[in-house]
Amino acid sequence: MSSAARSLPRVRTRSISHRAAARIRHASLRGAAIVYLGAFILLPVIAILTKGFGGGMTAMRAAFAVPGAWQALWLTLITSALAATINAVLGTMIAWVLVRYRFPGRGALSAVVDLPLAIPTLVTGVMIVALYGPSSPVGRFLSSIGIDVIFAPLGILLALLVVTLPFTIRTVQPVLQELDPAEEEAASTLGARGWTTFRRVVLPAIRTAIAAGALLSFARAIGEFGSIVLVSGNRTGETLTAPVFIFQLAAQFRPAEAAAVASLLFGISFVLVLVTTRLLKRKEAE
Amino acid sequence: MSAVATTEGARLDLRRSRRTRRLLIAATLVTVSILLLIPLLGILWTALEPGLSVITDTLEQPDVQHAFKLTLIITVITVVVTGVFGVIVAWVLVRQRFVGRSFLNALVDLPFALSPVTVGLACVLLFGAGGWFEGFFSARGIQIVFALPSMILVTIFISIPFVIREVQPVLEEVGVDEEDAARTLGASVWQSFRKVTIPNIRWGLLYGVALSAARAIGEIGAVLVVSGLIQGQTETATLYIFRALEERQTPSAYVVALLLALTSVVLLGAIEFAKRRIGRETP
């Protein structure tokens, strides 16, 4: 009894010092995380924004006074929107095939669609040039029937399609896996045709995931550089994209103008990425 | 009578769904072939067209050897930094509740929203001539821009999200029970981390690290801006391809591109392996 009473305070002091140690540990890990993300992510973003808008809109106006600036921005926005839309359809189809069908080579296919995540973007560009360029029979054939891929907007679109292929697949696939096929069976038992079942039962369930994949694709596409720089030919006013335009401005020692255009692209992408994370989180909560 | 009609209808439906199935699988294979497989074969064919000796000829060039060495150094440092700090950040974001947590969480996605070219530009603005930190480092004789340090910094920036975003869901899934049990049984924090947490998150970590490495090896836009393109000095494998193509040394550019493509196929193997393990272990 008395020994228990004596040992009690000792236990308590130990547990308090334990808790203090744990608190210090937690705080130092949190500090490390904050310093790491602050130094590596926040600082560069602040540097870009202050340089771009340090003198108000002067840098932005100067950047868009450069010949071909507007065309570069439009080309990037249009090719990115096209790539995101096409891949929303193709990605949904591929995710459906991977989840719902069993066929020989399915495992290999599932791995191959992730290839763009692993392959260097510049190598993607080299692949497209090698296949569709003037030195390959495929490229010669296509240009003989009037289709130019290399040094043309079509090549830019193709590069963006390759690079963003995995995004929609990766957002749609897990949602499809969770979906209960019983609902679709019920719908088709009630007489609904395949397409009607898909439109009425499956599509509402995966709509958010498709939108999220498309937005991520778009955000990625408007910043894409490596796969485009070799393919597009970078002709001012014709095949010059916004990221390559930023690169040219930076190389001409016009950092303020480059930062202004970069801020604009960043603003668009960032809003889209934020919207996407919100969408996915809300979906998860449901 | 009506029963016959139903079976006939069902048979029609079955036939129709079989046709849809065949059609969709065919369309998928065509898409993947056009976008990925044929271009991959295209580069294999173009690179090896002059004969296999082109590989040894290319690998004997000092510039190529140096480029691969530089890519390896940058990739290893990037993987270690983003791996270690990635686990810390993921752990803090999952296990701790504090003011500003969701802001920190949103910061992690920022590199996805920045063009690599913009990242390079930001690095020049911070450390280049007239930059915020230029004075500090030049006073100590440390060159950041147009040298290896800036190339490592931008590559780390771009690879930051991968480990965090792959480890986070796994940590959330496994919960705190096992860690708590280990601590109750007298394990130190470090022991419980090493023996319980790490084995639990290892496949997520491998997944993130493989994605990180792939991004680091393939990075071009950011390093192009900060490297200054000094041949044989600040030239990574991707920058070598870029310069070699501009200088019309096409065969060796294609060989280096082919080797990078093969490396990424190996990384893809690691990515798929990890993905399957995660799928199996989390219900």
Instruction: Residue B88: list chain A partners with CB under 8 A.
Output: 29, 32-33, 36
In this structure, which amino acid lies at residue B265? Answer: V
Measured between its terminal Cα atoms, the distance across chain B in Å is 47
What whole-number distance in Å separates Cα of residue A151 and Cα of residue A159?
12
B77 touching A, CB under 8 A? no
Per the CB < 8 Å rule, is B264 touching A193? no
Using the predicted structure, report yes or no on whether residue A285 has a pLDDT greater than 80: no
Q: Are B138 and B126 in contact (CB under 8 A)?
A: no
Using the predicted structure, report yes or no on whether residue A15 has a pLDDT greater than 90: no
Residues 164-223 of B with CB under 8 A from A: 189, 210-211, 214, 217-221
What whole-number distance in Å separates Cα of residue A95 and Cα of residue A99?
6
Look at residue B283 in the predicted model and tell me its pLDDT. 45
B251 touching A, CB under 8 A? no
Low-confidence ranges of chain B (pLDDT < 50): 1-3, 283
Q: Which of A34, A36, A243 has its CB closest to that of B221?
A: A243
Look at residue B84 in the predicted model and tell me its pLDDT. 96
B16 touching A, CB under 8 A? yes
Query: How much is the pTM?
Result: 0.90
> Among A113-122, A253-262, B135-144, which is the least confidently predicted range?
B135-144
Per the CB < 8 Å rule, is B117 touching A262? yes
> Among A80-89, A126-135, A179-188, which is the least confidently predicted range?
A179-188
The alpha carbon of residue B121 and the mean position of all alpha carbons in its chain are separated, in whole angstroms, by 21
Using the predicted structure, report yes or no on whether residue A284 has a pLDDT greater than 80: no
Phi-psi region of B253 (alpha: psi -120 to 50; beta: other; left: phi over 0): alpha
Coil, strand or helix at B220: coil
Give the number of A-B residue pairs with CB atoms closer than 8 Å: 264
Q: What is the mean pLDDT of residues A138-160?
A: 92
Residue of B21, B58, B110 for testing the chain A interface, max A β-carbons within 10 Å: B110
Using the predicted structure, report yes or no on whether residue A137 has a pLDDT greater than 90: no
Which residue in chain B has the smallest CA separation from A158? B35
Distance from CA of B274 to the nearest CA of A (A): 12
The full length of chain A comes to 286
Using the predicted structure, report yes or no on whether residue A222 has a pLDDT greater than 60: yes
Confidence class for position A1, pLDDT limits 50, 70, 90: very low
pLDDT tens, residue by residue, A47-61? 999 999 988 888 999
